[in-house]
């Protein structure tokens, strides 16, 4: 890839494209000027930011002082009396809102625990809903992953309790759970709620063996009176808790996923607040974290609704907060059964794919402008990865074998790239002669350079195009390593978790531009090997007249330092192995496979053959000739003056 970059940005090796768009001279003084200008900008913005922070601090101190003065002037009240009065008013309000369900307005919370081999669910009679879900196979720190365990989490809907009164089922106390076992091993948990006028509500949960998916049936007796307009207005609140070491990176991998009108789509939730409105039928929607998700499925579809996602402040350990208000149309009848399903579990492609409904799309194998790479993951990367993982327990070595496999498959492209580089190296002495001949006349040099390439049968893009074809593979692996839950918590060498960055040292400060407050050793090995490749490739390419372009191949590895430092160590380990293989291949191919004498002899034969110009070449020559005439005319005009 570095050789490709070097080929693309080298003015001497690609005069065609660059001279077509501009004719610019850059010297060292210009570069120094830009660097100094950048330093001035950074200093200015830093100074301005500090001034603004000082003003904000002074304003906050003033506001705090005013608040303390106002508080001292406020009348003294008895906190016990206030709390007693608040509880009394709250109790009266609940009784009024409960209407004919007054027996369920107040009560004591009773918990019921049901589990299978994968999950342990704690149900509560308050609202007749799941309160806490524990995933047995996955760890977060020293304990199992916990989902839906906060005070905010709630699953309820509005019911009419009497004339002009309504309340949410989440505030009512159902009868204690009744747990039975079905013939297939499923456990059925039932909560009931009855009114004084004969209406009743039942919440039936079915927990199947060895499954993350929970069936939830809402059974309404008197639904025509319990619901307004035969519509169940469901409210689901979810608070996603941090499960990965780096919460900032975990937030970047979180999103709202949904199946609307049969088509899968998603909404990124990186902004402070995101609102997604649905006007078409929605089968399911999911609050996705990097490796886990909360999903609510309506078997008869949601008719419409909206979901609001907000990202908490960085100081909290919450990834995102979701509040969903969805509508389900209910048949006009005195009784109705509304089937839902709940999924609390991993973003495991194979687990989600067995449920159908395109739920496996929650696993991000490629999205946005790089959505096409998901097919590379589905049909190449995942099968090969799973094959190696079938007989190798350490995923670090699985990734190494996967890297070797990819390099073997792309080896024909790699050989073509190195062969093109070898031809450029053979022509280097002749290019140096042309450079001395034309001096500062870059346009004349470019014309003779292209003529030399054409006579020798050399394509200056030959080393670039094969490398560009490998870019989709890199982005496919980026998506794969970010979403493959099998890597989560897996250690390799000094990396404690291949799904996150490795840390060899913590910094007392945070470096901007994505670097963070740590140093990743796999990032350093990836950058170091990229730098060695750049040095090697510079020796293979013609000398460059533009100093900026000359040093660009060395700047590229420096950029990688900031890009890679917070990425999963699985990706930086892959890049390291790939670079080491590249260095080995370059050495072997250049020294033991490619015969430079044969290349030179073949190029001499090509020169002797009659040449036919393509239309593109003729247009280019005409353009260059016209530009040369214009420049000669300008120069003559200047000389006359």
pLDDT tens for 395-434 read: 999 999 999 999 888 877 777 777 776 667 677 777 777 7
CATH number, domain with residue 286: 2.70.98.90
- Last-in-domain residue among 329, 363, 397: 363
DSSP state of 292: E
Q: For residues 238 and 149, what is the distance between their CA atoms, to the nearest angstrom?
A: 9
**Residue 528 three-state SS:** helix
The structural domain count of the chain equals: 2
Contact 434, 441 (CB under 8 A): no
pLDDT at 169 over 80: yes
Length of the chain in residues, anyone? Answer: 641
pLDDT at 103 over 90: no
Q: What is the pLDDT of residues 198-214, one digit of tens each?
A: 889 999 999 999 999 99
Residue 130: phi, psi to the nearest 5?
Answer: -70, 140
Q: What's the distance, CA 22 to chain centroid?
A: 37
Residue 68 lies in a domain: no
- The β-bridge partners of 240 are 320
Residue 565 lies in a domain: yes
Beta sheet of 111-115, edge-to-edge order: 111-115, 119-124, 129-140, 143-147
> Each residue of 62-85: b (16+ CB within 10 Å) or e?
eeeeeeeeeeeeeeeeeeeeeeee
Contact 116, 208 (CB under 8 A): yes
Residue 242 lies in a domain: yes
Q: What angle do CA 532, 537, 542 make, to 5 degrees?
A: 145
**Residue 302 three-state SS:** strand
Residue 140 lies in a domain: yes
Q: What's the distance, CA 365 to chain centroid?
A: 10
Residue with tokens 């088509």, as numbered in its chain: 263
What number of other Cβ atoms are within 10 A of residue 152's Cβ?
13
pLDDT at 268 over 60: yes
Please compute the mean of the pLDDT values over residues 269-295 and round it to a whole number: 90
Confidence of residue 450 (pLDDT cuts 50, 70, 90): confident
SS3 content of the chain, % helix, strand, coil (to 5): 50, 25, 25
**Residue 599 three-state SS:** helix
Cα 82 to Cα 77, 78, 281, 413, 491, distances in angstroms? 8, 6, 47, 77, 55
Question: Residue 585 has what pLDDT?
Answer: 80
**Tokens describing residue 541:** 């390419």
What number of other Cβ atoms are within 10 A of residue 103's Cβ?
15
Contact 109, 176 (CB under 8 A): no
329 and 439 fall within a common domain: no
Cα 592 to Cα 416, 439, 584, 585, distances in angstroms? 15, 36, 12, 10
**Residue 383 three-state SS:** helix
DSSP state of 275: E
234 and 350 fall within a common domain: yes
pLDDT at 82 over 60: no
326 and 429 fall within a common domain: no
pLDDT at 68 over 80: no
Please compute the mean of the pLDDT values over residues 96-115 and round it to a whole number: 85
Choose among 311, 308, 266: nearest CA to 284: 266
DSSP state of 313: P
Residue 374 lies in a domain: no
Q: For residues 44 and 285, what is the distance between their CA atoms, to the nearest angstrom?
A: 46
Residue 595 lies in a domain: yes
Residue 35 lies in a domain: yes
Q: What is the pLDDT of residues 190-248, one digit of tens each?
A: 999 998 888 899 999 999 999 999 999 999 998 888 999 899 999 999 999 889 888 88
- Look over the chain and give the mean of its residue pLDDT values, rounded to a whole number: 80
Q: For residues 127 and 105, what is the distance between their CA atoms, to the nearest angstrom?
A: 11
Question: Residue 435 has what pLDDT?
Answer: 74
Question: Residue 317 has what pLDDT?
Answer: 83
301 and 215 fall within a common domain: yes
Residue with tokens 């990367």, as numbered in its chain: 381
Contacts of 628-635 with CB under 8 Å at 24 or more apart are 628/443, 628/444, 628/447, 631/443
Domain with 142, as residue range(s), is 102-363
- Last-in-domain residue among 338, 363, 388: 363
214 and 286 fall within a common domain: yes
24 and 110 fall within a common domain: no
**Tokens describing residue 84:** 């007693």
Q: For residues 72 and 100, what is the distance between their CA atoms, to the nearest angstrom?
A: 46
Confidence of residue 151 (pLDDT cuts 50, 70, 90): confident
450 and 514 fall within a common domain: yes
Question: Residue 75 has what pLDDT?
Answer: 57
Question: Residue 620 has what pLDDT?
Answer: 60
344 and 236 fall within a common domain: yes
Q: For residues 635 and 441, what is the distance between their CA atoms, to the nearest angstrom?
A: 12
Contacts of 628-636 with CB under 8 Å at 24 or more apart are 628/443, 628/444, 628/447, 631/443
Residue 380 lies in a domain: no
345 and 458 fall within a common domain: no
14 and 119 fall within a common domain: no
343 and 458 fall within a common domain: no
117 and 225 fall within a common domain: yes
Question: Could you tell me which residues come within 8 angstroms of residue 428 by beta carbon, excluding any fewer than 6 positions away?
Answer: 542, 543
Question: Residue 359 has what pLDDT?
Answer: 95
pLDDT at 124 over 60: yes
């Amino acid at each position: 890839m570095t050789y490709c970059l070097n080929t693309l940005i080298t003015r001497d090796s690609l005069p065609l494209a660059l001279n077509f768009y501009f004719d610019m001279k850059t010297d060292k003084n210009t570069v120094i000027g830009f660097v100094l200008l950048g330093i001035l900008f950074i200093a200015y913005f830093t100074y301005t930011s500090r001034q603004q922070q000082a003003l904000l601090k002074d304003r906050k101190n003033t506001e705090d002082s005013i608040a303390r003065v106002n508080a001292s002037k406020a009348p003294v009240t008895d906190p016990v009396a206030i709390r007693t009065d608040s509880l009394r008013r709250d109790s009266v309000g609940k009784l009024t809102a409960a209407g004919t369900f007054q027996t369920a307005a107040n009560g004591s919370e009773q918990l019921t625990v049901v589990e299978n081999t994968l999950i342990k669910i704690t149900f509560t009679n308050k609202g007749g809903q799941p309160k806490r879900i524990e995933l047995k196979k996955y760890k977060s720190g020293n304990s199992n992953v916990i989902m839906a365990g906060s005070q905010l989490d709630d699953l309820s809907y509005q019911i009419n309790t009497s004339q002009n009164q309504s309340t949410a089922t989440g505030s009512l106390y159902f009868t204690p759970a009744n747990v039975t076992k079905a013939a297939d091993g499923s456990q059925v948990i039932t909560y009931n709620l009855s009114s004084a006028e004969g209406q009743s509500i039942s919440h039936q949960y079915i927990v199947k063996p060895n499954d993350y998916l929970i069936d939830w049936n809402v059974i309404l007796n008197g639904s025509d009176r319990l619901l307004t307009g035969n519509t169940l207005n469901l409210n689901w609140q979810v608070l996603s808790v941090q499960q990965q070491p780096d919460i900032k990176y975990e937030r970047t991998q979180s999103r709202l996923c949904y199946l609307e009108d049969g088509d899968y789509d998603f909404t990124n939730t990186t902004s402070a607040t995101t609102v997604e409105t649905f006007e078409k039928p929605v089968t399911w929607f999911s609050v996705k974290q990097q490796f886990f998700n909360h999903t609510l499925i309506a078997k008869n579809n949601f008719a419409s609704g909206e979901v609001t996602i907000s990202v908490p402040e960085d100081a909290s350990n919450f990834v995102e907060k979701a509040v969903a208000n969805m509508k389900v149309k209910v048949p006009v009848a005195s009784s109705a059964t509304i089937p839902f399903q709940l999924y609390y579990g991993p973003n495991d492609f194979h687990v989600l794919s067995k449920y159908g409904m395109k739920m496996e799309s929650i696993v991000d194998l490629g999205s946005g402008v790089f959505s096409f790479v998901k097919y590379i993951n589905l049909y190449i990367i995942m099968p090969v990865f799973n094959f190696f993982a079938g007989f190798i327990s350490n995923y670090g070595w699985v990734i190494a074998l996967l890297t070797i496999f990819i390099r073997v498959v792309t080896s024909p492209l790699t050989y073509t790239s190195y062969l093109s580089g070898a031809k450029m190296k053979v022509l280097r002495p002749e290019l140096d002669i042309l450079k001395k001949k034309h001096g500062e006349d870059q346009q004349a040099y470019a014309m003779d350079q292209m003529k030399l390439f054409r006579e020798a049968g050399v394509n200056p893009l030959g080393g670039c195009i094969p490398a560009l074809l490998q870019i989709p593979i890199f982005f496919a692996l980026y998506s794969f390593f970010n979403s493959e839950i099998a890597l989560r918590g897996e250690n390799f060498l000094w990396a404690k978790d291949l799904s996150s960055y490795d840390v060899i040292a913590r910094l007392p400060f945070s470096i901007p531009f994505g670097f963070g407050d740590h140093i990743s050793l796999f990032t350093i090995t990836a950058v170091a090997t990229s730098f060695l490749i750049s040095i090697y490739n510079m020796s293979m390419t013609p000398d460059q007249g533009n100093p900026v372009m000359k040093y660009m191949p060395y700047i590229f590895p420096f950029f990688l330092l900031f890009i890679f430092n917070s990425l999963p160590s699985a990706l930086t380990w892959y890049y390291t192995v790939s670079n080491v293989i590249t260095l080995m291949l370059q050495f072997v191919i250049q020294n033991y496979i490619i015969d430079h004498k044969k290349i030179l002899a073949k190029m001499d034969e090509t020169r002797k053959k009659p040449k036919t110009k393509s239309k593109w070449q003729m247009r280019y020559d005409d353009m260059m000739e016209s530009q040369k005439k214009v420049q000669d005319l300008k120069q003559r005009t200047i000389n006359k003056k």
